[in-house]
Amino acid sequence: MANLNRIILIGRLTADPEARFTVDGTPMTKFTLAVSRFQKEGVSQGTDFIDIVTWRKLAEVSGQYLKKGTLALVEGRIQIRTYEDKAGVRKWTTEVIARNMQMLESPSKEKVVPAAPQAGFEDVGESLEASEDLPF
């Protein structure tokens, strides 16, 4: 039996992405995506706040174009990792390591209805446009 670890999310950024570089100079960004849970008739059952991590070229693009409130589609894999806090207590964190990302709103703040997920997403560099700050 094959294993599969793939997730596709659509949500809004809760804050501007936090851009960093590793010791060897590899770009990465972190941001949180607010994703609503819906039941029948479109009634929201709450919101999940999911940590997203991007690397390399996707990190550069995310840091440059994504802003707080941006509606985005993120495709990637779930990763669970452990670490020790300053008090030496072992902690777990769950995050999505993004493989693809696409902005779903134009700079004019017009809503764009996302297409159904397909096997391959277009290159992220071709799908992004500069955007102004959104009020979210």
How many CB atoms are located within 10 Å of the residue 30 CB? 17
Instruction: List the chain pLDDT tens, one digit each, 136 residues.
Output: 688 999 999 999 999 999 999 999 999 999 999 999 877 777 778 899 999 999 999 999 999 999 999 999 999 999 999 999 999 999 999 999 999 999 998 655 544 444 444 444 444 443 334 444 444 4
pTM of the model: 0.71
Specify burial of residue 80 (Cβ count, 10 A radius: 0-12, 13-18, 19+).
exposed
Place of tokens 């029948």: 40
pLDDT score at 109 = 52
pLDDT score at 37 = 85
Cβ partners under 8 Å of residue 8, min gap 6: 73, 74, 75, 117
pLDDT score at 3 = 85
CATH superfamily of 7-58+67-106: Nucleic acid-binding proteins (2.40.50.140)
pLDDT score at 40 = 72
